[in-house]
Amino acid sequence: MEPEQPAVPAIDLEDPSSWLIGFDGIGPVAQGGPIAEVRPAMAAFVEDELPEWCPAARFKHDGALTLVAHLSDDFSTVTGMSLSGWDSSMDVSNSSPHTAEGIRIGSSLAELLAAYPDIAKSGEYGGGEDPTLFYAVPGDARVWIVFSLYDDTVRGIFVRDTPTPPSEYCS
């Protein structure tokens, strides 16, 4: 008799804080999945209109949390995800999806390092006294979870094929 597997917690599409971030995606947004299946699942978000040439779909939650699905050249498949929360006037950590280790938008650098003791710094942006730092956790299928930190706080989480965040996806 095989041991019983723990139940995977169900996600509530209306509550992004119930969504897990993993190497396979963020909540209902699956790495390699069709964007046509993502749009109806984003009930708690409002989709922004982007230029027709932009290979991305951007969804906002309560004005402070943003999830971007980066798309293939034919705009049909999710090739990566970006989750961010920069509004300092709101506590986005309460509404943020999280990793199995509990890291979410708003987590501290100390929490990140405690959750992932072997995590590697994968880069930085901006230099000076307060650069944005990047830390990355490798998956087993050439997918990374990348954390972007500013002022020792997680401000962005990316699921993608490299250990650095994407460049700007559209203007």
Question: 165 pLDDT band (50/70/90 cuts)?
Answer: confident
Give the tens place of pLDDT for each residue, 126-162: 877 788 899 999 998 789 999 999 889 999 999 998 8
Total number of domains in the chain = 1
In a domain, 8, yes or no: no
pLDDT given for residue 5 in this prediction:
47
* CA 75/CA 21 separation, integer angstroms: 22
| Residue 126's CATH number | 2.60.460
pLDDT given for residue 17 in this prediction:
87
What's the average model confidence in pLDDT over 46-55?
91
In a domain, 110, yes or no: yes
pTM, two decimals, is 0.88
Q: Are the beta carbons of 129 and 51 closer than 8 angstroms?
A: no
In a domain, 9, yes or no: no
pLDDT(6) > 80: no
